Amino acid sequence: MENPVAEIPTVIRLLTQSTPSLQHKVLERFYTPNAAFVHPFCRVPSFRESRWWVTKIFQWYKILSPRIEMQIHSVAFDETHLKLYVHMSQIFSIWIVPFYVAPVTLTTVLDLTTDQAQSNAPTNGNRTLYYIAKQEDLYQTSEFVKFVLPHVGYWLVLVWHLIATFFCVLGSNCAGGNLAYNIENKIPEIKDQ
């Protein structure tokens, strides 16, 4: 990619909404051969020719949900650290579970490299090209549970979050204030002993 911010929406659409042969071509062009992939349900570490495994994940993703609707909300590029952040939402419908769709929101973090040796994509003269070395899909718990427990998962996580919040408030009030502050006051006493 010459301009990651402008090009990544097209790359993502091609990966999620195209045929397996086109997915393969997109991965060959934009991902390094040793690309890593991290997702709440699967992981491919970086190793020689790991991109083949990433290709198979995208192809299985397409088999599970033949029709994926998606919208990219924002893209941010940290040029210093070569990281691309993509905030998006998608509607994932698994054909095994009829009449169920999982609308989810996620942030994808892409680690980029400009090392031509790490990719077998065509060169572009003297211009800098960026290749994806790692993809990490970040879902909130309330989002990825929609894949595992359709219909009730979101509500179970919501209840769990409310209970955890209640115990945070209860714990902070019952502990007599800020424990770290109280420990800080006790350090001179401890040193004197």
One domain for residues 21 and 109: yes
- Does residue 86 sit in the same domain as residue 168? no
- Among candidate residues 13, 84, 25, the one with its CA nearest the CA of residue 55: 25
Same domain, 142 and 158: no
Q: Which pLDDT does position 118 carry in this prediction?
A: 56
| Beta bridge mates, 170 | none
Task: State whether 123 and 184 are in the same domain.
Answer: no
Partner residues linked to 92 by β-bridges:
68, 102
Last residue in a domain, options 146, 162, 179: 146
> What is the distance of C-alpha 152 from the center of its chain?
23
* 46 shares its domain with 123: yes
> Do 43 and 130 have their domain in common?
yes
State the pLDDT at residue 117.
59
Same-domain status, 158 and 112: no
One domain for residues 13 and 36? yes
User: CA 57 to CA 54: how far, in whole Å?
Assistant: 5
Model pLDDT, residue 180: 59
**182 vs 164: CA distance, rounded Å:** 24
| 62, 129: one domain | yes
Looking at the fold, whether 124 and 168 belong to one and the same domain comes out as no
Give, for all 193 residues of the chain, the pLDDT tens digit: 999 999 999 999 999 988 889 999 999 999 999 999 999 889 999 999 999 999 999 999 888 888 888 999 999 999 999 999 999 999 877 777 777 777 889 999 999 999 865 555 555 567 889 999 999 999 888 887 877 777 788 889 899 999 999 988 887 777 655 555 666 666 777 777 6
Rounded distance, CA 39 to CA 178, Å?
A: 36
pLDDT of residue 29: 94
DSSP state string for the chain:
--SHHHHHHHHHHHHHHS-HHHHHHHHHHHEEEEEEEE-SS-EE---TTTHHHHHHHHHHHHHH-S-EEEEEEEEEEETTTTEEEEEEEEEE--TTSTT--EEEEEEEEEEEE--GGG--SPP-TTS---EEEEEEEEE-HHHHHHHHSTTTHHHHHHHHHHHHHHHHHHHHHHTTS-HHHHHHHHHHHHHH-
* Residues 116 and 129 sit within 8 Å (Cβ to Cβ): yes
Tell me the whole-structure pTM to 2 decimals.
0.78
Q: Are residues 123 and 67 in the same domain?
A: yes
Containing domain of residue 175, as a range? 154-192
Quick one: pLDDT at residue 137? 94
Q: How many domains does the chain have?
A: 2
